[in-house]
Amino acid sequence: MVPRLTMHLQFLATRNGLRNLTLTSSHRSLFAGIRISIDEEFAAKSLFHSCEVMLVERLPSGVFADPFELQHIQDRGVYGEVAVFGDTNLELPSFLSNRTLVEVHMFFSPDGLLEQKHGLEIKVEVPLHACYQPLDGSGYSAVQFGEPDVFARCRMEKRSSNQSHLFVLTSNGAISYKNPTVWKIPSGVETHAGFVSIVTFLSASLSALVIIVASVFHSNIKLHENVKIS
């Protein structure tokens, strides 16, 4: 029987709040820093020999994570395991694509956790890309990120045992209520539609006409006199 054990979660504060989006482009990284600590009873029992923290980002509609890019990051040993669930058709605009979910696993040792006075700090950065947004009169579409779900799973010491225990870690809405992270993504403006269509077709027609006239009325057609049998 496993005694009651508790892990604590705290989101790390950065200059830009508890969450952060790096860069200012269609390709950004979502940063989440967490601190995990354990109570004394957990430390005393020392029942677990390995643990992993699982951070689950539920991405809002309008952004996606490239599974192959994340695989590349995993191959470089940045994270333990990474997976993307949901829509992987990266070319569709957001109004035709579904939401995605990114799961990042990072392994740590309970002993290592004990050695940290203030708990174990884990920083996760997930590269994201913006889809084409629904048309908006303002020219920008605001995409808001919620709080990630954080779990920890620890495996028992006895090798013959496959038993592991899952801890659901919560921060009582620290992110959603205090510092919502918003990404403003450029979007098309609906009022442009008529003008753009007309000018596009007129330009294509004019270019085609110029090429046709140049070809048909090209008067400088000369033929070479010399021939050769190959």
Closer by beta carbon to other proteins, 13 or else 211: 211
Chain residues binding other proteins by CB under 8 A are: 24-27, 68, 72, 88-91, 93, 95-96, 132, 134-135, 139-140, 184-190, 192-193, 196-197, 199-201, 203-205, 207-208, 210-212, 214-216, 218, 220-230
Give the shortest CB-85-to-other proteins separation in angstroms. Answer: 14
CB of 26 to other proteins, least distance (A): 5
Q: How many residues does the chain have?
A: 230
The three-class DSSP label of residue 202 is helix
CB nearer to other proteins: give 119 or 134.
134
**Contact predicate 24/62, CB 8 Å:** no
Cβ 17 to other proteins, closest distance in Å? 19
Choice between 37 and 181, CB closer to other proteins: 181
If we measure between CA atoms, which residue out of 55, 41, 48 comes closest to residue 6?
41
3-state secondary structure of 196: helix
Cβ nearer to other proteins, comparing 76 with 118: 76
Q: 3-class SS at 29?
A: strand
Nearer to other proteins, 9 or 82 (CB): 82
Count of CA atoms in the C-beta half-sphere (13 A) of 216: 6
| Least distance CB 22 / other proteins (angstroms) | 12
Q: How many CA atoms lie within 13 A of 119 on its CB side?
A: 17
**CA dist 142 to 128, 133, 152, Å?**
15, 9, 32
All residues at 6 or more sequence positions from 26 whose CB lies less than 8 Å from its CB, including other chains: 129, 130, 185, 186
CB of 208 to other proteins, least distance (A): 4
DSSP state of 118: T
In the complex, least distance from residue 45 CB atom to other proteins, rounded to whole angstroms: 42
Nearest residue (CB) to other proteins, 13 versus 208: 208
